[in-house]
Amino acid sequence: MANTQDMTDPNSNGVPDMAKSLCKDLSITLAKFPRVALGHLPTPLEPMDRLSEELGGPRLWVKRDDCTGLSSGGNKTRKLEFLMADALQQGADTIITQGATQSNHARQTAAAAAKLGLACHILLEDRTGSDDPSYILNGNVLLDRLHGASVSKRGGGADMNAEMEALAETLLKEGKRPYIIPGGGSNPIGALGYVNCARELAEQAIHMGLKIDALVHATGSSGTQAGLVAGLAAIQSDIHLLGIGVRAPQEKQESMVHDLALRTASYMGTGTEIPRDSVRANCDYVGPGYGLATDGMIAALKLLAQTEGLLFDPVYSGKGLDGLIDQIRKGYFDGMENVVFLHTGGSAALFGYPDSFGLPGYLT
Ligand SMILES: *Cc1c(COP(=O)(O)O)cnc(C)c1O
């Protein structure tokens, strides 16, 4: 645990002072963008000591973005603080977004729209082909509908952006003022939420006297990682950032993240450079495909539930953890002392996958 020595040592070479002032500059930059408060921020940064002992590698920490507060939490809430503010500024009265059937983004968007008094239309793409009633109607889908969103489905492989545009046309003709949020809220506006998270985490670490060596998280539509990449670059952090892919192959995932990080930095207007090699994704844990269970995900999810009392999700954070655990065992983090896993949320999706965990369907 941090002691006074840890707190003062880095101070002597001025690193925290410089880091503090870079964090402050970044808050000033971010304050120029419209934002509505939706999340419980800052989210906690907690040690995972039972897991660290079990794995015997670096000390593991969890950044609790599953505790952002809105409709059971998750990473989309940070993005929505900026996206919803932009929608309001443009005079929108209706939000349109899309995602996979068990989309956490859709659920958090439906909740944010409800909180702000906006109508919400959600298009769900059937990416898995599952006809399990729990998958189709429970978990996030149940919550989307409880929040009052109008939810409809589209076939796997549909052009979801075109579908959203067509819906917007129809709503415009009805006199509505629709605002389209891309899948995952992943554009430069949404990514600002994770630029802000990079700053928040760096400030927390300074405060705790903690030197974070690496930050690991699940990466999908890329806004989370792109925001973190741009934010860490803006504060000149040397934290090693690693995304664990849940869908695309590595080359595609990394170039999506890099492209969005560049666009985000340019949107911020700070002239921050984003080196291509600051974008790292390991896409070896996707398994048979997006949203399909893997043995590693199930083992990781159970291990965390049973060592730390934490819930993760089958599609994103569970596969991210599988990657973290396997890479610890393979020595990827050797020589590092503190590794943080960013918990991006998603446990509501567990109820869409009740049969994946090998638990008998009865009690004795
Ligand atoms: C959306 C999501 C992610 C991935 O974030 P992106 O910004 O889409 O890359 C990770 N974990 C959970 C639980 C999510 O819902």
User: Tens of pLDDT along 89-120?
Assistant: 999 999 999 999 999 999 999 999 999 999 99
β-pairing, 94-100 with 59-64?
unpaired
> Which range (5-9, 87-91, 193-197, 293-297) has the least confidence?
5-9
pLDDT digits (tens, 9 = 90+) for 17-33: 999 999 999 999 999 99
Distance 277 CA to ligand 1 centre (A): 21
Residue 250 has pLDDT above 80, yes or no: yes
Length of the chain as a residue count: 364
Q: Of 290, 30, 305, give the one whose Cα is nearest residue 184.
A: 290
The arithmetic mean of pLDDT across residues 153-176, rounded, is 98
Return phi, psi of residue 33, to 5°.
-100, 140
Q: Which of 76, 109, 197, 244 to mutate to test the pocket of ligand 1 (most atoms within 8 A of CB)?
A: 76
Write the pLDDT tens digit of every residue in 334-360: 999 999 999 999 999 999 999 999 999
Given this model, what pLDDT does residue 7 score? 47
Residue 320 alpha carbon to ligand 1 centre in Å: 10
Give me ligand 1 centre to Cα 338, in Å: 23
CA nearest neighbour of 75 among 193, 179, 244:
193
Contact 311, 72 (CB under 8 A): no
Place of tokens 């792109």: 226
Residue 2 reports pLDDT greater than 50? no
Instruction: Work out which ligand 1 atom sits closest to the CA atom of 218.
Output: 10
Angle at 78 between CA 181 and CA 242, to 5 degrees: 100
Pull the structure tokens for residue 214: 């690496």
Instruction: Point out the residues that are catalytic.
Output: 103
d(CA 27, CA 347): 30
Beta bridge partners of 45: 63
Cα 20 to chain center, whole Å?
Answer: 24
Ligand 1 pocket mutation, candidates 127, 224, 253, 297, criterion most atoms within 8 A of CB:
224
| CA–centroid distance, residue 316 to ligand 1 (Å) | 6
Separation CA 97–CA 79 (nearest Å): 13
pLDDT level of residue 5 (50, 70, 90 thresholds): very low
**Residue 80: is it exposed, middle or buried by C-beta count within 10 angstroms (0-12/13-18/19+)?**
buried
**CB under 6 Å to ligand 1: residues?**
74-75, 104-105, 184, 186, 218-225, 313, 316-317, 344-346
pTM of the model: 0.96
User: Identity (one letter) of the amino acid at 226?
Assistant: A
Q: Locate the ligand 1 atom nearest the alpha carbon of residue 345 and give its number.
A: 13
Q: In angstroms, how far is the first alpha carbon of the chain from the final one? A: 43
* Angle between helix 250-268 and helix 188-208 axes, rounded to 10 deg: 90
- Between the alpha carbon of residue 18 and those of residues 172, 236, 237, the distances in Å are 49, 9, 11
Q: How many CA atoms lie within 13 A of 332 on its CB side?
A: 17
- Reply yes or no on whether the pLDDT at 80 is more than 60: yes
Please calculate the CA angle 265-10-215 and round it to the nearest 5 degrees: 45
Residue from 71, 75, 143, 311 to probe ligand 1 pocket by mutation (most atoms less than 8 Å from CB): 75
On the CB side of 272, how many CA atoms lie within 13 Å of its CA? 31
Three-state SS string over the chain comes to: CCCHHHHHHHHHCCHHHHHHHHHHHHHHHHCCCCCCCCCCCCCCEEECHHHHHHHCCCEEEEEEHHHCCHHHCCCHHHHHHHHHHHHHHCCCCEEEEEEECCCHHHHHHHHHHHHHCCEEEEEEECCCCCCCHHHHHCCHHHHHHHCCCEEEEECCCCCHHHHHHHHHHHHHHCCCCEEECCHHHCCHHHHHHHHHHHHHHHHHHHHHCCCCCEEEEEECCCHHHHHHHHHHHHCCCCCEEEEEECCCCHHHHHHHHHHHHHHHHHHHCCCCCCCHHHCCEECCCCCCCCCCCCHHHHHHHHHHHHHCCCCCCCCCHHHHHHHHHHHHHCCCCCCCCEEEEEECCCHHHHHHCHHHHCCCCCCC
Place of tokens 């005079």: 91
Atom of ligand 1 nearest to the CA of 184: 8
Using the mean position of ligand 1's atoms as its centre, give its distance from the Cα of residue 329 in Å: 24
